[in-house]
Chain A
Amino acid sequence: MSFEKISRQAVSNWEALYKGRITHILVGTATCGRAAGSMAVLEALRRELEGLDAAVAISEVGCMGLCSHEPLVTIIKPDNFSICYHHVTPQMVPRLVQGYVIGDDPCFDLALGSVTGGGQEPAIIPELERFAYEKRLLLRNSGYTSPLEIDHYLACGGYKALAKALTMAPGALIEEVKRSGLRGRGGAGFPTAAKWRSCYTVKIDIKYIVCNADEGDPGAFMDRVLLESDPHAVIEGMAIAGYAVGAQKGFFYIREEYPLAVSRLQTALTQAEDKGLLGKNILGSKYNFDIEIVKGAGAFVSGEETAMTAAMEGRRSWPEHRPPYPAETGLWGRPTLVNNVKTLAYVPLIVNNGGNWFKRTGTKKSPGTALFALAGKLNYTGLAEVPMGTTLRTLVYDIGGGTRGNKQFKGVQIGGPSGGCLPEALLDTPVDFDSLKEAGAIMGSGGIIVMDEDNCMVDAAKFFTDFSQQESCGKCTPCRIGTFHMLDILQDITKGQGTLEGLNMLEELGRDVKAGSLCGLGKMAPNPVLTTLRYYKEEYKAHVLEKRCPARVCKDLTAYYILPEKCERGCDHCVLACPAEAVFSDENGLKVVDQSKCTKCGSCQLVCPVEYNAVIRLSPVSLVPENRRTRPETPSKEP
């Protein structure tokens, strides 16, 4: 079938749904929506609509990036506003159906805003301020088109770029990508066209492409959202890249922990094959290309390209020396192009609109947009796509809505275990590959975690070092043993056993691990420690010199204390909640925490009624008055 015919068919199906006379309901069922209960909402909608004589269609869609508002339901009604509802529960469904689907009540009290765009334009909610700062290239279809329907993607201009690319010479295609200045979105920011060119120039029949979807950073989920929301964009990008470098076979290396992304991708692949957009003689050309999914088994190091090819060959995921680069000698010794999910998803846009168009967004050295996962102590967590060069401040305050509960902002951790923590003073740093590197962090895959006054930076550094230490593959000694010692020192510090020499040693070890490791994991593993030492030295010193954790997080340096003047003696909430039987009543009926028994689980603080708010945390522990530390030898209340 010719591309025009496939496309025409899709457009007519799409218009029947989105522009026709029927009401169309979109339910966001990506992983975060599901975790918030969207499947129950979907079920309730289906039940509610059953037997109703209304022209209604329901589509499962991906994620708009508004995780903190999930579950989201959008109702697209002919001749009416399209309205997006947030925090939808099955109990709200009858009202929405009776109110807006059947009746004329838009249920404004449940609405988040109206949805505009969609189709050729990105779908946005103009009432939300954050959309003014975003530029949605990769997320243009997310949460609007169904990832389960190839026709939706086709009707929005999908696979047009593939059809166009097949009429171009591979060299010209690479030239166009070069003109766009696209840099790899896996983290390091290597120019994509240069990678393509070196794979293209090797004159061998069999070449491979691997799409790196091994998103291992805890706190990063952009690739997952993209694959769950708009898988065809990545598939199309991969097919174009395959044509450009002369590969016949592509692989998705995707985390096993992303079962929904795997299944949606599989559906999308089958649909593309059925339409003749993958397989033999694609769209009547001489180009053959098919794609297989390989599931990773959980190893952070597999994100490194040589470690990834080792895993795909059924071996332990150990990185190798580069050069030779996989683009020359990769999977089973063949030239293998390894590109990140986001990198490939940009490719159709660049082919359609040209490299110069792409360059108009972002900064000179980092063109395009950046996709971030916002998490941590923010009012609005989720995904955001902004032009490169946007400041961290915009991301945190204008898009993320600032810190939750108006707590004091403390820092952002950007780039996961390989990235760094940046303080308030650096919030005006533009996010692009080079500015972040200068500040000591990295773009990484794009996870941003916001920390407030209740987070301890030493603890955060310990958390990331613990992660890197466990994930170190063990090949390079400085990484294997160095991270272990770094963790050891950090543990001492959080226990109040740290020394100033230890801090120096930590810094020295960090530099050595960076210098002596082969792959990105080891080279970057010390970043969280080195940046916190650089920007939060005082906090380290408080731990070491005063045995004090300013955020009152480190257990050994913190005590739970019940303020006698606030304690309401008759209430026994804390006594009952304590799993360690550490809370007792003194001779006046006031509650006291026995520090020798306390496990510091915080249950007493959580259950203490807000009107009393009597439980506080103290650091250093010596702040607890001496007469209120342990239960007296002979209980005073006993007769």
Chain B
Amino acid sequence: MDFELIEEQRILQKTAKDFLKKECPKELVRSLDESEDGHSPELWKKMAELGWMGLILPEAYGGSEWSFLDMVILLEEMGYNICPGPFFPTTILGGLTVLKAGNEEQKKEILPRVCSGDMILTLAMSEAEGWVEPISIQTKAEQQGEEFILSGIKLFVPDAHLAHKLLIVARTSDNQDPAQGLTVFLADAGADGMTINRLKSIARDKQCEVVLDGVRLPAGSILGTKDHGWSVITEIMRYAAVARSAEIIGGARAAMDLAFDYAKERTQFGRPIGSFQAMQHYMADMWVEIYGARNLVYQAAWKLSEGLPADMEAAMAKGRAGLVGRKATITAHRIFGAISFTMEHDLHLYTRRALAGDMALGDSDFHHEKVAKCMGL
């Protein structure tokens, strides 16, 4: 057992903290929240220069081959500071999927451009029934000769409006088992028949509707093997759930720190409100819940980095983190009182994202069910 970071990880963490504090002040976060795109090309370029997009990609494609756990450290800081933009969909949902399932040609075409910051990616999976189970994927990919024609509607696709390419999960054959017959396609964002509309999310994350109306894709756009896309998705989801959990925990820590500072300074009844038991108990619960969930996130991240089985650990981390993020932000509001119920105050920036985090990549019900399965129930 070892609960400490090594020197390189501490440096990565500190660099991230310093950079994000300087380059992502809340003014920028707010203005990007209000903007159509939610993206700052200048910020994006600086992050690429730091090597962050290629952090876990192989050197052969321009990356620096750090471990998944290192990426989790970075993502936690991004959650703590709120780093706007399509980093998560590009590097994890897109980049990692291409790395794991793409052929050499696809990897050569895409990954170096991810590393340089020139390619933004996302994954279009969820549909009307929401969620992340194969049975809800109804988008069809009908084969016609050497082409596939995609029809259907994808929902809650993060940053689709910014993406250069979308990874799309569609049904290429019917099967009794809904997990069979799914295929992952790589499509250009401007493809004929594809319409991208931004949904209006209170988290101000730019989740999109992607309408596919007879989008024609060549056979070469298949990522992995036809009909065997779900196993790719299952693997990526493990990483994505843990990575997202790290962002959530970072945000929860920030909410806790804000509340803590306030509790020490704000006086009522002649004393700091942090000296009242109710406030102390809120803070204690917050610390225990956040750092407990954080341990689960790092345990899962470590196992994934070591190539060890981590189905249960990843599900535990995400199932728990989602709930902890919501509770921490809501409790922080109770500590702040009315002042944090204003747009001017920063807390709501975290509160909104905590809800989005819980709902992303499977909510807590979904992940608790995974845990139940892993337990042998």
The finding on whether chains A and B are genuine partners in a shared complex, rather than unrelated, reads no
